[in-house]
Amino acid sequence: MLRSLPKIDVATLIAFGCIVLLLLLGAVAKPGFLSVDYLGQQLQVAAFLGVIATGEMIVILMGQIDLSIPWTIGIGGMMATGASGILGNALGVPLAVPFGILCGALIGVVNGWGVAYLRAPSMIFTLGMNAVAQGLMVYHTGGFAPQDRATPLMIELASGQWIPGFSNPLLVWIALGAITVYILTRTVFGRQIYAIGNRERAVFLSGVDSRRVTLIAFAFSGACAAAGGVLLAGWANRSYQAMGDPYLLPTIAAIVLGGTNVLGGRGTYLGTVAGVILITLLQSILSVLQPQDYFASMGIKLPADVFRQVVFGLVIIVMMMLYGREKAMR
């Protein structure tokens, strides 16, 4: 029997409550923060993170993690912009977007194969794959992108509006989110993902090929990360080295803030949406308030990007402690 949509849990409600508080704080700190144009811009920025977080959430639901996101994003963007040089103009221009996403999916397949069939720890294997992807791209490009300009379709996907009032990245995120919600709540595959996160050994002994599920989940994560890279390259009208580096901690922080258990088995996509919006608003508030200036007055000098990384890291540590204790007590 098909399962009904999951109820909104406490963590998701807390995340939405924090969003409201940040909106009120932003309205006080910056005139025009609640304007339609500014909020629309924030949703467009959130869409890039949301697309990337979608695949990572599936992996985390299984009790795994994908740390190859930074350079999978880079591969997606750089291979999409360089597709015409690899495939030729006749094929490269129209196939740039799917080619970039396919390259990311291949990285995910390798990750899934290593974790599922070689039984390697996902944290170690995917971190190693991130380094391998970096090395391969540096070797392939000679340290720079030989053809780094986005195609017209990439630019349109990242900055256009096919529906007035809704940016195309937001539409992409909505479509991807709808597919993900359907998979997680209405398919056997989705139930298997949750079950593996709770107790993989029991799932395997029940006759489910948990290795195949893990492989598909990592391939999906790689494809989502590469899709985010394609959108980012279209937004900037170019691809560049290390374009995905700023997205690893915000992605994981958004997922755990939305209530997804970092040890697997529990979480909703609505919570991830709330977490993504919360992280995006938090980044905006930090840029407006410049709290690192306060610490600088006390002799603690932290650049803005470093301060954000510290905040995201603390969020992950706190949520890990909360979920770790909770799962240990069950």
Span 199-208, pLDDT tens digits? 888 888 888 8
Among the residue ranges 252-256, 303-307, 322-326, the one predicted with the least confidence is 322-326
Please state, in angstroms and rounded to a whole number, the distance separating the CA atoms of residues 142 and 38: 39
Q: In this prediction, what percent of the chain has a pLDDT beyond 70?
A: 88
pLDDT at 300: 65
| pLDDT confidence tier of residue 299, bands split at 50, 70 and 90 | low
> What is the per-residue pLDDT across 215-243, written as a single tens digit (0 to 9) for each?
999 999 999 999 999 999 999 988 888 89
Distance CA 296, CA 6 (A): 45
Q: What is the pLDDT of residues 7-27, one digit of tens each?
A: 667 888 888 988 999 899 888
Mean pLDDT of 265-280: 92
Q: Which fold has domain 10-329?
A: ABC transporter involved in vitamin B12 uptake, BtuC (1.10.3470)
Beta-carbon neighbour count of residue 245 at 10 Å? 15
Cα–Cα dist 72/103, whole Å: 8
Contact criterion met (CB below 8 Å) for 48 and 250: no
pLDDT of residue 2: 42
Phi, psi (deg, nearest 5) at residue 154: -60, -40
Q: Nearest 5 degrees, angle CA 159-CA 160-CA 166?
A: 100
Two tokens at 256?
């755990």
Is pLDDT of 131 > 70? Answer: yes
- Assessment of whether the complete model's pTM goes beyond 0.85: yes
* pLDDT(321) > 90: no
Between residues 32 and 299, which one has the greater pLDDT? 32
pLDDT greater at residue 126 or residue 148: 126
Asked whether residue 275 carries a pLDDT value surpassing 60, the answer given is yes
The structure tokens listed for 34 are 């609640």
Does residue 174 sit in helix, strand or coil?
helix
> Are the C-beta atoms of 253 and 310 separated by less than 8 Å?
no
Stronger pLDDT, 311 or 267, i.e. the higher one: 267
* Percentage of the residues of the chain whose pLDDT score is greater than 90: 52
Measure the N-to-C terminal CA separation of the chain; round to a whole number of Å: 27
